[in-house]
A and B are shown apart, each in its own frame.
Chain A
Amino acid sequence: MLSASAIDPAFREVADWQIFDANVRLGHSGVYGELALETDVLLEEMDRFGVRQALVSHFACEEYDAQEGNNVLASEVNERLVPVWAALPEPAFIQELSARRPLAVRISYGVLKHNFSWAPWCAGELYEYLQAHSILTVIAREDLAWDSLAQLLETFPRLKVLLLETGYRADRYLFPLFKQHPDLYIDTSTYVAHRQLETFVDRFGPDHLLFGSRLPLYDAGAALAVLATARISDGAKLLIAGGTLRRLLGMGAQ
């Protein structure tokens, strides 16, 4: 349970927001060194910002092995840390993944990550499974070219895709995609241009934005301050802070 006294005084106004962070990674990292956090310290950092729950993936999945990383992740998750399982396109892997009854998976196509094609000839069976079970499909923007993302969304129109870390310079790609694809979502960790969040909400409503901190690499105070000071309604802030993500995962507020 999150204690109100644990919240940094500067962020007390968000204490009742039931924040559900859509972009957190866990565990030891060979790439990010001292920035990476083990579970207990990560939870303390979430407490400072009033983050009640988080979607978490494990660095071991990206940097070492999907199966091994999922096993480590399974041993670390609790009621506050909701696992984002690594997904590979092989049928045997999909079968093992299915046994975990996933709410969310992360696909890492990159050559130096899991190294497979996004295209249906390679990963079609995986998308069919994810789409059929309404599993949130998390993809980092750097792992998928814009044209490939557009084709993926056209080919699998019921796939719920959460695109992470779009950066703040992406609206000329994002806005056309949002006009066509109702099941596309982005996290706010890098969506930090001047008055960008309110502009997005004016055009598309709050339902496609999910609060993301990019912990432990980024300071959660940055993205949280952007949301807290956005010139949008309180209801819209609560949806972005966690309401929409809970709906997508079929979870109620804690």
Chain B
Amino acid sequence: MRSPFPIFDCHGHIGVHPDFPAYKQTPEEMLEVMDLLNMAVLAVTSSRACSTDCPRGNAEVNEVLRKNPQRFRGYITVNPRPQGEGIRELERWSHFHRPPLIKFHPDLHKYPINGDAYRPLWDFANQTHAVILVHTWDSDPNCGPLMFAPLGRCYPQARIILGHSGVTWRGYEQALETAQAAPNTYLDITGSQSHRGILERMVARVGADRVLFGSDMPYLEAAASLGRILAAKIVDDDKERILRSNFRNLIEEGE
């Protein structure tokens, strides 16, 4: 089983995770899976940056991009605290990609996405037309999907990917509500919960153009996301958009 189109994956990582063992997670071992599934490009964020240390984590991404610029794209992961570090990181690693790819993880960084300390980072993203991948989770007080409709309206030049689209069935409903209210928000299918019929519901309510393929590699098996797309009761053109064109176009706009 293989994707009929070269996949552009909006949601990957570099590194390990504290609460479960990661297997065969080096970039070289991830490339084995990418080749198997016909994945052309994987955009990665550093797990170290999502947890404890953005400067060291972003340096890890820099190294991956230096070794394999064709297959990987790099998010600059920023934490709103300590204040000032985030802007420094965005400037330091500005060569990762243009427009910038930025990752926010308000859940692990324990700070609300609409809090004051995020404001300069949102301003930067808006000014640079950045693509921002934000971790979201059903009703999470720091990053519940419903928090993003006002942010989308406030920062209309930023392109906001709702990472995991809220994950649960209820979280997906919240993400869909936000996507309908804010046209600069996008739905990422990454997640361990493979709800039957949710892809069809996303396409029907916001259109296939705003649904993105994500795997969470090397945490989750990328084939699970691929299987969901291939099995979805949507037309082949929509599958192609989700697997390839949508994210490719999103990150190439403004290059």
B250 within 8 A of A: no
Contact A229 B231 (CB under 8 A): no
A171 shortest CB reach to chain B, Å:
6
Q: Of A13, A194, A222, which contacts B218 at CB under 8 A? A: A194
Contact among B20, B194, B217, B222 for A219, CB-based, below 8 A: B194
Using A35-B197, A193-B220, A220-B231 as known contacts, say yes or no to A225 and B20 having CB atoms under 8 A apart: no
Interface flag for A48 (CB, 8 Å): yes
Q: In the bound complex, how far is the Cα of B195 from the Cα of A34, in angstroms? A: 11
Structural contact, B197 and A228, CB atoms closer than 8 A: no
In the bound complex, CA of A11 to CA of B227 (Å): 9
A197 to B223, CA, bound (A): 12
Whether A168 contacts B22 in the complex (CB less than 8 A), given A8-B231, A194-B219, A225-B1, comes out as: no
- Distance from A240 Cβ to chain B, minimum over Cβ atoms (Å): 14
Assuming the A-B contacts A167-B192, A229-B37, are A199 and B24 also in contact, with contact meaning beta carbons closer than 8 angstroms in the complex?
yes
Query: In the complex, what residues of B have CB within 8 A of residue A222's CB?
Result: 194, 224-225, 227-228, 231
Can you list, as one digit per residue, whether each of B220-247 has a CB less than 8 Å from chain A (1) or not (0)? 1111111110111000000000000000
> What distance in Å separates the Cβ of B144 from its nearest Cβ neighbour in chain A?
22
Which residues of chain A are near B21, meaning CB under 8 Å? 171-172
- One of A123-131, A153-161, A210-218 at the interface: A210-218
Question: For A169, what are the chain B residues with a Cβ–Cβ distance below 8 Å?
Answer: 19-20
Instruction: Please give the distance in Å from A121's CB to the nearest CB on chain B.
Output: 33
Q: How far is the CA of A49 from the CA of B23 in the complex (A)?
A: 28
A193 lies within 8 A of B20 (CB): yes
Complex: A169 Cα to B194 Cα, angstroms:
16
Residues of B within 8 A of A (CB-CB), count: 38
Contact A195 B1 (CB under 8 A): no
Checking A8, A167, A199 against B230 with a beta-carbon cut-off of 8 angstroms, the contacting residue is A8
Closest to A225 in B: B227
B154 contacts the other chain (Cβ, under 8 Å)? no
Could you list which residues of chain A lie within 8 angstroms of chain B, going by C-beta atoms? 8, 10-11, 13, 34-35, 45, 48-49, 167-172, 190, 192-197, 199, 214-226, 228-229, 231
**What would be 19 A-B contacts, judged by CB atoms less than 8 Å apart?**
A11-B231, A35-B196, A193-B20, A194-B22, A194-B220, A196-B23, A196-B221, A218-B195, A219-B194, A220-B196, A220-B231, A221-B230, A225-B223, A225-B228, A225-B230, A226-B221, A226-B223, A226-B227, A228-B1
B127 interface residue (CB < 8 Å to A): no
Other-chain residue from B36, B195, B218 in contact with A229 (beta carbon distance below 8 A): B36
Complex Cα distance, B233 from A48, in Å, reads 11
Taking a contact as CB atoms under 8 Å apart, the answer to whether A228 and B221 are in contact is no
CB-CB < 8 A to A196: which residues of B? Answer: 23, 221
Q: Is the CB of A194 within 8 A of B1?
A: no
Contact B221 A218 (CB under 8 A): no
- Chain A residue contacts of B232, Cβ below 8 A: 219, 221
Nearest CB in chain B: distance from A164 CB, A: 15
Shortest CB distance B37–A (Å): 7
CB of A219 within 8 A of CB of B23, answer no
Of the candidates B23, B198, B226, B227, the one whose C-beta lies within 8 Å of that of A194 is B23
Contact residue among A45, A172, A195, A220 (Cβ-Cβ distance under 8 Å from B221): A195
Chain B: which residue is nearest A169 at the CB level? B20
Does B65 sit at the interface, judged by CB under 8 A?
Answer: no
Q: What's the Cα separation between A26 and B84 when bound, in Å?
A: 55
- In the assembled complex, how far is the CB of residue A26 from the closest CB belonging to chain B, in whole angstroms? 14
**Distance of B74 from chain A, by nearest CB (Å):** 19
When chains A and B are docked, how far (Å) is the Cα of A107 from the Cα of B30? 39
Closest CB of chain A to B223's CB: distance in Å?
A: 4
C-alpha gap A167/B191 in the complex (Å): 12
